[in-house]
């Protein structure tokens, strides 16, 4: 069973046997704007995000616009005839009251006004206050197809923002939905990178603060003998922090010997050797002599070949040897306690 009706030159027909509806001889489907279409838009935005959903709708509008232009170029041919028919086609299809205010294929320019479009109705139900992107994107696609040049839009007036209608102005442009997608991806990538860099900076600051608190403490071993363990790698910042902390606290101990324990030192390089030399020179100004312990075979070779004054510092392979040396220099030694009789 079939029914057909011609409304202002636009043909609708229903094939109830096959369950199909046709508009201009093409299959269509009908949605309730305030409920079904709104739900569709809400879902897209919920899943994709606000910016992303606007770009999806804009791109979809543009692509459907190129399809429309291709369809009417094949059926009507002339641009004037097509643009003369389209306002009626769109109003009978429920796309709103459309007026093509002006257009020029030669100047690649057009102005189109739309009132009470389905996109306006959906956005109004959504509580939006920003002009939608599907319809202006759609007309950009239509004009791109008809004019044979890339066209893009700007919104001059918006019914959603309180104007009596929405007005879109179109001009030749290099902007395309693909470029907008690329721009959004780049923007999101930059935002993500900035967030990661900020998180890394915050974590680095936190770790640096922790390292400053726990790194290389001054450890009193015996009267007049202190130990400073070097742990991990040292750069300029960490080296200066250790030196400043040591020089600030050293006078309070009144120590004769400061043992630098390099057992856990990592990455001995030219900076490390210079730093140790600077460390020894600075502490000697306070009347404290330095020893270097925890010397590995590799470290000893580097010291010997470096030409630094570090090789003049008493060096030992283990901490115990350094402690015994310091005691011996002070005329002291460790002995067992006599058992109580």
pTM to 2 decimals? 0.55
By C-alpha distance, which of 100, 102, 132 is closest to 117? 132
Collapse the DSSP code of 176 into the 3-class scheme (helix H, G, I; strand E, B; otherwise coil) and give the result: coil
- Residue pair 160/131 in contact (Cβ under 8 Å)? The answer is yes
Q: How far is CA 55 from CA 48, 119, 140, in A?
A: 10, 14, 14
Q: Residue ranges per domain, the chain?
A: 1-30, 33-175, 182-214, 215-329
Q: Which CATH superfamily is domain 33-175 in?
A: Trafficking protein particle complex subunit 3 (3.30.1380.20)
Domain 215-329 CATH (choose: 3.30.750.24, 1.20.210.10, 3.20.20.210, 3.90.550.10): 3.30.750.24
Give yes or no on whether 33-175 and 215-329 have one common fold.
no
Give the burial class of 271: count Cβ atoms within 10 A of its Cβ; 0-12 exposed, 13-18 middle, 19 or more buried: middle
Written as tens digits, the pLDDT of the chain (341 aa) is 788 888 887 788 888 888 888 888 788 777 787 888 788 888 888 888 888 888 888 888 999 999 999 988 888 889 999 999 999 989 988 899 999 999 999 999 999 999 999 999 999 999 998 999 999 999 999 999 999 999 999 999 999 999 999 999 999 988 777 666 565 566 556 666 677 667 766 776 666 665 555 555 788 888 889 999 988 888 888 888 888 888 888 888 888 999 999 988 887 888 888 888 888 889 888 889 999 998 887 777 777 777 766 667 888 989 999 999 999 898 888 777 776 65
């Amino acid at each position: 069973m079939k029914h057909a009706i011609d409304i202002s030159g636009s043909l609708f027909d229903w094939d109830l046997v096959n369950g199909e509806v046709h508009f201009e001889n093409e299959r269509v489907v009908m949605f309730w704007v305030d409920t079904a279409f709104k739900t569709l838009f809400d879902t897209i935005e919920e899943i994709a995000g606000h910016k992303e959903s606007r770009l999806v709708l804009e791109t979809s509008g543009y692509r459907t616009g190129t399809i429309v232009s291709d369809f009417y170029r094949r059926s009507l041919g002339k641009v004037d005839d097509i643009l003369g028919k389209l306002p009626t086609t769109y109003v009978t299809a429920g796309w709103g009251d459309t007026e093509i205010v002006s257009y020029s294929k030669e100047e690649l320019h057009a102005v189109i006004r739309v009132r009470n479009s389905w996109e306006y109705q959906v956005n109004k139900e959504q509580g939006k206050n920003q002009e939608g992107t599907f319809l202006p994107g759609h007309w950009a696609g239509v004009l791109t197809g008809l004019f044979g040049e890339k066209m893009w839009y700007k919104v001059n007036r918006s019914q959603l923002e309180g104007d009596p209608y929405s007005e879109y102005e179109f001009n030749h442009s290099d902007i395309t939905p693909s470029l907008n997608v690329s721009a959004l991806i780049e923007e999101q990538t930059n935002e993500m990178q900035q967030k990661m860099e900020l998180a890394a900076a915050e974590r680095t600051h936190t770790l640096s603060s922790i390292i400053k608190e726990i790194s290389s403490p001054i450890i009193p071993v015996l009267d007049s003998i202190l130990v400073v363990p070097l742990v991990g790698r040292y750069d300029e910042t960490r080296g200066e922090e250790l030196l400043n902390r040591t020089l600030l606290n050293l006078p309070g101990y009144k120590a004769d010997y400061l043992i630098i324990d390099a057992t856990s030192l990592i990455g001995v390089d030219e900076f490390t050797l210079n730093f140790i030399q600077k460390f020894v020179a600075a502490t000697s100004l306070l009347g404290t002599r330095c020893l270097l312990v925890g010397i590995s075979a590799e470290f000893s070779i580097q010291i010997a070949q470096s030409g630094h004054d570090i090789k003049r510092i008493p060096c030992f392979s283990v901490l115990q040897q350094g402690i015994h040396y310091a005691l011996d220099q002070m005329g002291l030694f460790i002995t067992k306690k006599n058992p109580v009789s």
